[in-house]
A and B are shown apart, each in its own frame.
Chain A
């Protein structure tokens, strides 16, 4: 007899999975939102800062580096999520599925 939704929800492993996914997913989402909207607000409010050269005599500006850093951060954050999720979610999910059969 397969477990009901209620029974699965009461499984401590299910609670662990949900809590883990929720905290990681939302934490990383908030980080991404802060990074991105931080960048957008800098564009809106502090153009001179973005136009500052990274070093005396160079034409590369702080803005270019920040923009590229936002792109890289999107990839890195996604990577962090995937590696953490691969390490823990799938094992937990498999156990829950087994226990619910």
Chain B
């Protein structure tokens, strides 16, 4: 029983924070034999993407090209790139692993992560594109006093990026150790070096194309796996489910909600974080500036929603496929655990996040297993590149060019600062990745989503929609959201009890995710302190709304695509 509980809580923690590599992240992985197929295929991916970076470097001269690929990405390409940013190795392995472990519960997360996208389309994509230039802070600070809002936005960006990055780095190290048989530290360093090369030399052009290529590979690989699984059941999902129910120790319970959602309040709060966190992730928001205009921005989210939704349906099939084909095959199980009488589900080698990888071996042999492993590595490299570019842009464009230089920075200096920031972020990410090797960092992605939903999103939305918002209101409300999200996560059961090891029930807030409260603090804070603000600056802020509103609706004056 207690073993089941441990597994469940690990899965819960993983999922919740997750894009999760719970077992991998907890450092419980053993090094595997060197996988040459996987290394060869990853090597090919690296050569291809370095070629693209070389090509991109030659056309990355201006700041616009560096930050936003000169606005020259099409809606369809951007849709793929956004989907790529979102389909991290963690969401691929984490969700299919969660489905493998408890069936239906995996669907709850898939749904939560998807439904933010329509909201982004309906309310944010077009005005964001019309108002912004390089970073979402351009939009949030449009009519306000620049320095305070830029500092707030840069804090929101850097904190979000840092937590997301650490989780990805630790996941990368453990996963690569497991898949490729490489040492943890080497894996983390390879990821760090590649991402620094892509971003410093190729800027957004390279980062986008790396992401597009990886998205295509991942979608193709996942499609093939789902196809092979269904083909074994005469393309009848019912037959697949029936077999899964038969072999899974939880039997029919995998077809309905399980232990994942404990209280309605938790469910609601988690739902809010998943839904609105998406609309506040800086590396995703930045992608909207890579297309030519509002129309392309709108289309790109439509394509992205389609790709992501399709991908989540595939991971569901893959998870069930793994229940049937992996948990029943001794080749994929840990004999020591089987000998102890564990079910196939619990005894899978390397933990439940390996379900999708093992399934690749089961349906496509060693070569395909190598392919999927290489794609998983490529995925991590692509996602951390996008994150690093967003973090570096916050440092160079928001802090250096606007706050330090008062908007009068030389363009080449700004790019140079951005590249230096990229290198520093890369080195810091590698060091933190190594420092956190043995720590369970699964909560960090959840934290990133909470902060994005509680700081970045409220400030962005209110600045675009509400005439009455003032600089003071935005800064106080934004920081209230940021701090309350941080505090809420630290004192949550996942961190206080599961990670820091304090006794069960001692966490101050018995709620998995603070978004319900921290988002409320942010919105109420912005509203209240804007209402109370009678300063001279407040008058300027409110008076600036008309010009901003016209531009957000029509794009008049918006920065367009630069000539290539």
Residue B257, interface by CB 8 Å? yes
Tell me the nearest residue of chain B to A6, going by C-beta: B546
Q: Name the A residues within 8 Å of B102 (CB-CB).
A: none
Give the docked Cα–Cα distance between A79 and B302 (Å): 6
Contact between chains at B554 and A85 (CB < 8 Å):
no
Q: Are A36 and B275 in contact (CB under 8 A)?
A: yes
List residues 517-564 of chain B with CB under 8 A from any CB of chain A.
Answer: 546-547, 549-550, 553-556
Q: With A and B bound together, what is the CA distance between A63 and B252 in angstroms? A: 12
Q: Are B114 and A74 in contact (CB under 8 A)?
A: yes
A48 to B126, CA, bound (A): 41
Q: Mark B24-50, 1 if CB is under 8 A from A, else 0.
A: 000000000000000000000000000
Contacts of B126 in A (CB 8 A): 21, 85, 89
User: With A5-B550, A32-B115, A79-B302 as given contacts, are A47 and B256 in contact (CB-CB < 8 Å)?
Assistant: yes
Known contacts A36-B275, A64-B107; decide if A44 and B263 are in contact (CB<8 Å): yes
| Residues A32 and B546 in contact, CB atoms below 8 Å apart | no
A37 B271 Cβ-Cβ under 8 A: yes
CA–CA, A32 and B554, complex, Å: 25
Measured between C-beta atoms, what is the minimum distance from A100 to chain B in Å?
6
Residues of chain B within 8 A of A58, CB atoms compared = 238
Determine whether B364 belongs to the interface, using a CB cutoff of 8 Å to chain A: no
A82 touches B546 (CB 8 A): no
Q: Which residues of B contact A51 (CB under 8 A)?
A: 252, 255-257
CA distance A88 to B417 in the complex (A): 42
- Are A36 and B550 in touch, CB under 8 angstroms? no
Chain B residue at smallest Cβ distance from A51: B256
Min distance, Cβ B288 to any Cβ of chain A, angstroms: 15
Q: Are B264 and A44 in contact (CB under 8 A)?
A: yes
Contact B119 A41 (CB under 8 A): no
- In the complex, the chain A residue whose C-beta lies closest to that of B272 is A37
Asked if A32 contacts B119 (CB within 8 A), the reply is yes
| B438 within 8 Å of A (CB atoms) | no
Nearest-Cβ distance from residue A38 to partner chain B, whole angstroms:
11
Partner of A37, one of B119, B245, B268: B268
Q: A40-B271, A71-B110 are in contact. Are A26 and B261 (CB under 8 A)?
A: no
A59 with B255: CB separation less than 8 A: yes
* Residue contact A61 to B256, C-beta cutoff 8 Å: yes
Chain A residues lying within 8 Å of B275, measured Cβ to Cβ, are 36
Task: Output the nearest chain A residue to B262 by Cβ-Cβ distance.
Answer: A44
B267 at the interface (CB under 8 A from A): yes
Say whether B462 faces chain A, with CB atoms less than 8 Å apart: no
Q: Separation in Å of the B292 CB from the closest CB of chain A?
A: 12
* Complex partner residue of A43 from B108, B255, B298, B302, CB under 8 angstroms: B108
Residues of chain A lying within 8 A (CB to CB) of residue B549: 5, 9
Inter-subunit contact B257/A40 (CB<8 Å)? no
- Chain B residues whose CB sits within 8 angstroms of the CB of A43 once the complex forms: 108, 257, 261, 267
Question: Which residue of chain A lies nearest to B246 when distances are taken between CB atoms in the complex?
Answer: A59
A17:B554 contact, CB within 8 angstroms? yes
**A to B contact number (C-beta, < 8 Å):** 161
Bound complex: CA A57 to CA B119 (Å): 38
**Quick check: is B228 within 8 A (CB to CB) of the other chain?**
no
Bound: A17/B555 CA distance, A = 12
| B202-210, B304-312, B340-348: which lies at the interface | B304-312
B111–A86 touching, CB < 8 Å: no
Supposing A36-B275, A74-B305, A75-B306 touch, asked if A60 and B554 sit within 8 A by C-beta, the answer is: no
A18 & B553 in contact (Cβ 8 Å cutoff): yes
Which listed residue (A45, A71, A90) contacts B295, Cβ 8 A? A90
Interface of A is mostly: helix
**From A85, which residue of chain B is reached at the shortest CB distance?**
B298
Q: Number of B residues contacting the other chain (C-beta, 8 Å)?
A: 50
- Residue numbers in B under 8 Å from A97 (CB-CB): 554-556
CB <8 Å contact, B104 and A70: no
Task: Given A63-B257, A67-B104, A70-B115, check contact A25 B547 (CB 8 Å).
Answer: no
Scan B204-241; emit 1 where CB is below 8 A from any A CB, else 0. Answer: 00000000000000000000000000000000011001
Among B111, B241, B547, point to the contact of A39 (Cβ < 8 A): B111
Tell me if B123 counts as interface (CB < 8 A to partner A).
Answer: yes
CB neighbors of B among A39-95 (8 A): 39-41, 43-45, 47-48, 50-51, 58-61, 63-64, 67-68, 70-72, 74-75, 77-79, 81-82, 85-86, 89-90, 93
- Is residue B121 contacting chain A, with contact meaning CB distance below 8 A? yes
> Does B468 interact with chain A (Cβ within 8 Å)?
no
In this assembly, does B443 line the interface, its C-beta being within 8 Å of a C-beta of chain A? no
Q: Which of B270-300 contact A (CB under 8 A)?
A: 271, 275, 294-295, 298-299
Name the one of B114, B261, B556 contacting A44, with C-beta atoms under 8 angstroms: B261
Judge whether B117 is part of the interface by a CB distance below 8 angstroms: yes
Q: Give chain B residues whose Cβ lies under 8 Å from the Cβ of A48.
A: 256
- How far does the alpha carbon of A36 sit from the alpha carbon of B115 in the complex, in Å? 7
Min CB gap B313→A, angstroms: 6
Nearest CB on B from A44, distance (A): 4
Residues of chain B contacted by A50 (CB below 8 angstroms):
104, 256-257
B257 lies within 8 A of A14 (CB): no
CB distance from B457 to the nearest CB of A (A): 14
Given contacts A9-B549, A47-B257, A71-B313, 7 further A-B contacts (CB under 8 A): A8-B556, A9-B550, A40-B261, A67-B104, A67-B107, A86-B298, A89-B295
Can you report 22 A-B residue pairs in the complex whose CB atoms are below 8 A from each other?
A14-B550, A14-B554, A18-B553, A24-B122, A29-B122, A33-B119, A36-B112, A43-B267, A44-B263, A59-B242, A64-B104, A64-B107, A67-B104, A72-B309, A74-B114, A74-B309, A78-B121, A78-B301, A79-B302, A86-B299, A93-B553, A96-B556
Give A residues with C-beta under 8 Å from B: 5-6, 8-9, 14, 17-18, 21, 24-26, 28-29, 32-33, 35-37, 39-41, 43-45, 47-48, 50-51, 58-61, 63-64, 67-68, 70-72, 74-75, 77-79, 81-82, 85-86, 89-90, 93, 96-97, 100
By Cβ-Cβ distance, the 7 closest A-B pairs, closest first, are A51-B256, A44-B264, A67-B107, A25-B122, A5-B546, A5-B547, A44-B267
